[in-house]
């Protein structure tokens, strides 16, 4: 790309000047007359110096330039813009390649801690540069190699500027216990609702009442009233059981729940006025601990470091109906906390509501579907004796 | 060789060539410009000169041995 410039030539008898330029081997790439004594000419930039020498009485002015020269000029005239653009691009590149968070998705806290510590060793932590695909693959391989016993599978996913780690824990095959000879009995009085027998003989029927200690799955195997074998009964039994629960709930309810979010805020205080520095997302409610960093002896000015911990405050005055509803919810919640995943509340009934000072007391009756499996060891000697006695009779 | 010569002649013509277009006159292999005015122009070449008469004549391009004249050409005279 050749550098071309556009010049304006002014003077009398311009043709003579153009002829002179041509005689000196200067190429006139484009000639445009504006009027009889003014002409716009495009020439190669390298010829400009010679034009300057030949101009004599003529006035020559550069109007514009083309080619690399133009690009160069434009670049220098916009250098601040290009510099900002380059700096911006670098910052953007840096920010998009910096890790802002690492999260492990697993219910077990120990596994989460283990993985966070492991990946941290490989440089996957906050405010560090992101890793390439190959590096991630190698890290996964190394972690799995180092924790063969604990981990089955691991995946490190890059989501924006965060890393999400998904992990599958290795479950060791537990050695089967050598089970003793036993019956499965009811743990508490209930109406039988479900029997899952893996081994043994079912001795009770669904929807029948069982008392505490009644055998439901027997380990004694009989054929034609003759004991054939004594085995270890295995299975689960579920029944409908009953509870009476009492809860108290205050009319005036105040509760503070910590969300676990903490931050340090620097604050300027002047008289009663206070201003947080760089606290872009302040907590709505928080517990605070102050530490004065700087203060003036005479002026009411202070620079304070404040440790804030977010809390959610519940402060309410309930009516009787609301208090009963809340008390019932509380009772249900307490009951549900005691139940496993296969257990549930079948029904509830309010028995009695009484007021005591600033609280209400609610008695609730629960019908619960619950695991009532309990085990009873079989004394083989006793069984044999019992059988012999039966035969004699 | 003849073919190469033709290509060369086409790319870098050595003989005088005059091309007339509407509003333009293109002359190749001239030596110098003589007279220049809006009604008359004289272009010299190795074997003589060309006198161009017309209206609103002006130089549009002047490159080495190539000149482009703009305007309404009425008469071209080879001398």
Q: Looking at this predicted complex, what is its ipTM?
A: 0.82
Q: Which of A174-178, A221-225, A243-247 has the highest mean pLDDT?
A: A243-247
Taking CA atoms, A160 is separated from A41, A100, A137, A256, in Å, by 56, 9, 18, 35
Domains of chain A: 4-75 (3.30.70.260), 101-169 (3.10.20), 179-251+318-393 (no CATH), 254-312 (no CATH)
pLDDT tens, position by position, B8-25: 666 666 688 899 998 999
Phi/psi of residue A281, each to 5°?
-125, 75
Taking CA atoms, A102 is separated from A82, A98, A124, A164, in Å, by 35, 11, 7, 6
Mutate to test the interface with B, among A12, A27, A37 (most CBs of B within 10 A): A27
Q: For position A194, what pLDDT does the model report?
A: 92
Domains of chain B: 15-78 (2.60.40.2000)
Taking CA atoms, A277 is separated from A82, A272, A282, A287, A310, in Å, by 32, 16, 11, 18, 18
Q: A201 and A234 in contact (C-beta within 8 Å)?
A: no
A 10 A CB-CB count for A25 gives 9
Q: For position A173, what pLDDT does the model report?
A: 62
Mean pLDDT over residues A150-155, rounded? Answer: 88
- Looking at chain B from residue 8 to 47, which residues have their Cβ under 8 Å from any Cβ of chain A? 32-33, 36-37
On average, the pLDDT of chain A sits at: 88
- Looking at chain A from residue 13 to 52, which residues have their Cβ under 8 Å from any Cβ of chain B? 15, 18-19, 21-23, 25, 27-33
Compute the count of residue pairs across chains A and B with CB atoms less than 8 Å apart: 34
Q: For position A340, what pLDDT does the model report?
A: 87
Contacts of B37 in chain A (CB under 8 A): 15
pLDDT tens, position by position, A231-262: 888 899 999 999 999 998 888 888 888 888 88
Mean pLDDT over residues A158-180, rounded? Answer: 77
Q: For position A240, what pLDDT does the model report?
A: 94
């Amino acid at each position: 790309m050749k550098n071309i410039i556009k010049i304006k030539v002014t003077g009398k008898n311009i043709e003579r000047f153009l002829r002179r330029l041509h005689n000196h081997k200067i190429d006139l790439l484009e000639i445009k007359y504006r009027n009889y004594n003014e002409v716009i000419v495009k020439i190669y930039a390298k010829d400009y110096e010679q034009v300057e020498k030949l101009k004599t009485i003529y006035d020559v002015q550069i109007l514009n330039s083309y080619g690399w020269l133009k690009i160069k000029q434009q670049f220098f005239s916009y250098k601040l813009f290009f510099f900002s653009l380059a700096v911006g691009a670098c910052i953007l590149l840096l920010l998009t390649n910096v890790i802002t968070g690492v999260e492990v998705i697993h219910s077990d806290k120990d596994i989460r801690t283990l993985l966070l510590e492991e990946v941290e060793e490989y440089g996957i932590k906050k405010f560090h540069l992101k890793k390439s695909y190959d590096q991630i693959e190698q890290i996964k391989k190394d972690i799995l190699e180092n924790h063969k016993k604990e981990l089955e599978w691991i995946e490190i996913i890059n989501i924006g500027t965060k890393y999400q780690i998904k992990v599958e824990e290795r479950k060791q095959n537990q050695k089967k216990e050598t089970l003793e000879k036993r019956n499965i009995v009811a743990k508490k009085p209930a109406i039988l609702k479900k029997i899952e027998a893996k081994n043994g003989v079912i001795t009770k029927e669904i929807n029948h009442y069982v008392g505490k200690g009644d055998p439901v799955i027997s380990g004694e195997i009989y054929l034609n009233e003759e004991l054939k074998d004594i085995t270890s009964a295995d299975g689960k039994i579920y029944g409908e059981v009953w509870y009476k629960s009492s809860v108290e709930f205050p009319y005036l309810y105040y509760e503070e729940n910590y969300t676990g979010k903490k931050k340090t805020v620097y604050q300027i205080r002047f008289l009663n006025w206070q201003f947080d520095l760089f606290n872009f997302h302040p907590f709505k409610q928080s517990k605070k601990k102050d530490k004065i960093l700087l203060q003036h002896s005479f002026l009411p000015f202070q620079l304070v470091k404040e440790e804030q911990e977010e809390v959610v405050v519940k402060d309410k005055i309930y009516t009787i109906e609301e208090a009963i509803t809340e008390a019932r919810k509380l009772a249900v919640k307490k009951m549900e906390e005691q139940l496993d995943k296969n257990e549930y509340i079948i029904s509830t009934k309010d028995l009695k509501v009484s007021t005591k000072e600033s609280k209400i007391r609610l008695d609730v009756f629960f019908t619960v579907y619950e695991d009532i499996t309990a085990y009873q060891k079989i004394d083989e000697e006793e069984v044999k004796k019992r059988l012999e006695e039966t035969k004699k009779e | 060789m003849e073919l190469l010569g033709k290509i060369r002649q086409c790319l870098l013509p050595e003989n005088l060539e005059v091309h007339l277009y509407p509003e333009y006159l293109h002359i190749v292999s001239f030596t110098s410009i003589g007279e220049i005015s809006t009604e008359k122009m004289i272009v010299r070449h190795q074997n003589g000169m060309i006198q161009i008469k017309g209206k609103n004549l002006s130089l549009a391009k002047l490159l080495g041995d190539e000149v482009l004249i703009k305007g309404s050409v009425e008469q071209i005279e080879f001398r």
